[in-house]
Amino acid sequence: MQQYLQNKKGLVQNVFDQVYDQYDLMNDFMSLGIHRLWKKNLLNMMNPSHTQTLIDVACGTGDIAKLFLKHVNKSSQITCVDPNKGMIKKGKQKLGEFSNLNWVIASAEKLPFADNSFDFYTISFGLRNTKSLNIALSEAYRVLKPGGRFFCLEFSKIQNQGLNFIYKNYSKLIPSIGKLVVGKREPYRYLIKSIDQFINQDELLDLIFKNGFKKCSYRNLSGGIVSIHSGWKI
């Protein structure tokens, strides 16, 4: 398995402490706005009903929660989890109109919820930043109800050599864009490094299966720049 970047305690927290206030803006710059289409693809794959509940881990400022509520006509119960206080504060400001959102400061490796609590578990662009993939995945399995489904939207390995060449060269510019847009370069150097060192699609699929999920699969988007992995708790 390709070496996965195991983060020292506090490193990821420090990165997002520096960027949370401009997080949404920088996401648009980093992905040229395409992250919004990727997240819509995720919701289309989920196709939730208004009676189903969601836990969105590494929720950031709540993009997935907002799309989920739009899909179910604002009538479902959603729990948004992120380890960063600033990110949670920003999300509350952004989605303050919704009363059915529960915001919780916690890590993916230690979720403060009972077993068998949620119909859906989502984590978008957050799994690679966990200190332990296995613990995070086992926690996802634990909090899902039997019949519940896990979804992970994450940066992956590009299949096409030409596209990969373009992407790698664009990635080199992102720290400079970060410096220009939010006044900071180092957090974005870390983010690019974490993407580069993360495991590939098949390796992640194998880990999901080994942590108890069944009917595991993935779908590449944008040529494999990102992928959506899913698995069922049966």
**Quick one: pLDDT band at residue 5, thresholds 50, 70, 90?**
very low
Cα separation, 96 vs 57, in Å, equals 19
Is pLDDT at 120 greater than 70 in this prediction?
yes
Structure tokens, 91: 């999300």
Mean residue pLDDT of the chain comes to: 90
Angle at 156 between CA 101 and CA 192, to 5 degrees: 85
Q: What is the CATH number of domain 11-232?
A: 3.40.50.150
The pLDDT score that the predictor gives to residue 26 is 72
The pLDDT confidence band at residue 3, using thresholds 50, 70 and 90, is very low
Q: What's the confidence (pLDDT) of residue 35?
A: 94
* Residues contacting residue 123 through CB under 8 Å, at least 6 positions apart: 56, 57, 58, 108, 136, 140, 151, 152, 153, 154
3-state secondary structure of 158: coil
Residue 6 scores a pLDDT above 60: no
Q: In the chain, where are the structural domains located?
A: 11-232
pLDDT at position 17: 66
Q: Which residues is 107 bridged to in the sheet?
A: 110
CB 234 within 8 A of CB 215: yes
Residue 187: the pLDDT is 81
Q: Quick one: pLDDT at residue 124?
A: 96
Q: What are phi and psi of 163, to 5 degrees?
A: -65, -40
**Per-residue confidence (pLDDT) for residue 186, from 0 to 100:** 83
Q: What is the pLDDT of residue 54?
A: 98
| Count of residues in the chain | 234
Would you tell me the crossing angle of helices 174-182 and 23-31 to the nearest 10 degrees? Answer: 150
Could you report the per-residue pLDDT of 181-215, keeping only the tens digit for each? 778 888 888 888 889 999 999 999 999 999 999 99
Exposed e or buried b per residue across 69-89, where buried means at least 16 C-beta atoms within 10 angstroms of its C-beta: bebbeeebbbbbbbbbebbbe
Interatomic CA distance for residues 88 and 151, integer angstroms: 21
Query: Which residues sit opposite 110 in a β-bridge?
Result: 107
30-64 pLDDT, tens per residue? 788 899 999 999 999 999 999 999 999 999 999 99
Among 31, 101, 30, residue whose Cα is nearest residue 61 = 101
Q: Who wins on pLDDT, 230 or 131?
A: 230
> Regarding predicted confidence, which is higher, 79 or 75?
79
Smallest CA-to-CA distance from 117 within 138, 157, 145, 90 is with: 145
pLDDT surpassing 80 at residue 16: no
162 CA to centre of own chain? 26
CA separation for the pair 116, 128 (Å, rounded): 24
Which residue has 């919004």 as its token pair?
A: 36
What is the average per-residue pLDDT within 97-101? Answer: 92
